Amino acid sequence: MNIAIITGSSGLIGSEAVNFFSNKFDLIIGIDNDMRAYFFGKEASTAWNNEKLSESHSNFLHKNVDIRNYNDLEKIFQEYSTSIKLIVHTAAQPSHDWAANEPITDFTVNANGTMNLLELTRLHSFDATFIFTSTNKVYGDTPNRLPLVESETRWDVATDHKYYAEGIDEQMSIDHTKHSLFGASKVAADVMCQEYGRYFGMNIGIFRGGCLTGPNHSGTQLHGFLAYLMKCAILKDEYTVFGYKGKQVRDNIHSWDLVNMFWHFHQNPKKGEVYNAGGGRTNSCSMIEAIKMCEEVSGNKMNFKYSETNRIGDHMWWISDLGKFKTDFPDWTWKYSLTDILSQMHENMIVRYGQTLAQ
């Protein structure tokens, strides 16, 4: 029997992974205890997505387990052991704003939880492929030191700085920078994943995501800006733009495209390799540009305000250079454009919030 374990299985990337791998494995074990509702409130709960997955896939088995609980995780690994061929670890506390409220919770989820999974994989499923969803926040605010120039709608790297013409690659330092506490806890997990790969010789891929997004994203103000922006556009709620004149740039990758990267890696895994994962220049947008696009897709005028205070450690400009991954896996490329992403979000949210809109 071939089994895949997916942590954070009800979240954006986790649920996409369940859908993607359901016809590639005999059994999908989803580990998720809906801590997103604890982090961001009931409106961010992913319970609805867990129900949807259970109804859609007969080979999906949900486990309501906290990844900080080693003993509960160990029972799963002991039961299925060598049948486990893939672990996709997406469970996390994902917000650098929230982390400052409960640093110990943030660190134990992101760092200790990852450590538990790595060690159990080493002890019980050594030959499995381990995928870790890291973050571009491991680079801290170092990207803000790049020579940036201001245009009408966005910041961009100076044209004479050709090294970063396609974005930021994996050679950027993660030292001597302000990460936010969230970024620091993800650095700890990121480096430990690299070490288990290189020291023990395990098949481990670390994917440092830009803005991971898609139609199943339960976006909130503190995490998931594009989904939350579209939600505000549809419901006509007020949105706050934090600093940088609203010209901060993000590259956005559809959850399916990211999980497809995982699939390519699984077929030819490396030992603790790191890859930046985002939408590249093609799928990049500034906050101002994203607001305009959401207005066009929704047909509603956005209700937003501007705050001069930017978020601590936030990037003024981030575009991922995926050259390294494309070199290692040349058959992979993006399937979904930024317009596709926003259109899918709009369609899903109209259904999800239909009752609210009717009131």
Rounded to whole angstroms, how far apart are CA atoms 310 and 188? 25
Segment 152-181 mean pLDDT? 94
> In the 8-state DSSP scheme, what is residue 317?
B
pLDDT at 358 over 60: no
169-187: pLDDT as tens digits: 999 999 999 999 999 999 9
Quote the pLDDT of residue 166: 94
Q: Which among 313, 256, 255, 319 has a CA at the least distance from the CA of 285?
A: 319
pLDDT exceeds 70 at position 220: no
Q: Give the DSSP letter string of 194-229.
A: HHHHHHH--EEEEEEESEEE-TT---BTTB-HHHHH
- CA dihedral over 354, 228, 93, 340, signed as positive or negative: positive
- Of 23-37, 56-70, 233-247, least confident by mean pLDDT is 233-247
| Structural domain boundaries enclosing 240 | 3-358
The pLDDT value given to residue 53: 96
> What is the CATH classification number for the domain harbouring 94?
3.40.50.720
pLDDT at 332: 98
pLDDT in tens, 311-322: 877 899 999 999
Task: Give the SS3 label for residue 275.
Answer: strand
What is the domain count for the chain? 1
Instruction: Give pLDDT, residue 217.
Output: 75
Comparing C-alpha atoms, which of 297, 320, 308 is closest to residue 246? 308
Residues 2-61: tens digit of each pLDDT: 999 999 999 999 999 999 999 999 999 999 999 999 998 887 888 989 999 999 999 999
* Residues 79-106, mean pLDDT to the nearest whole number: 95
Asked whether the beta carbons of 288 and 247 are under 8 A apart, the reply is yes
Q: Is the pLDDT of residue 280 over 60?
A: yes
Confidence (pLDDT) at 219: 65
pLDDT at 74: 98
Average pLDDT, integer, range 305-334: 93
pLDDT at position 227, please? Answer: 87
The percent of residues in the chain predicted with pLDDT above 90, rounded, is 86
- State the pLDDT at residue 356: 63
Strand order in the sheet with 249-254: 211-213, 249-254, 284-286
Does residue 269 carry a pLDDT above 60? Answer: yes
Report the alpha-carbon angle 351-354-355, nearest 5: 140
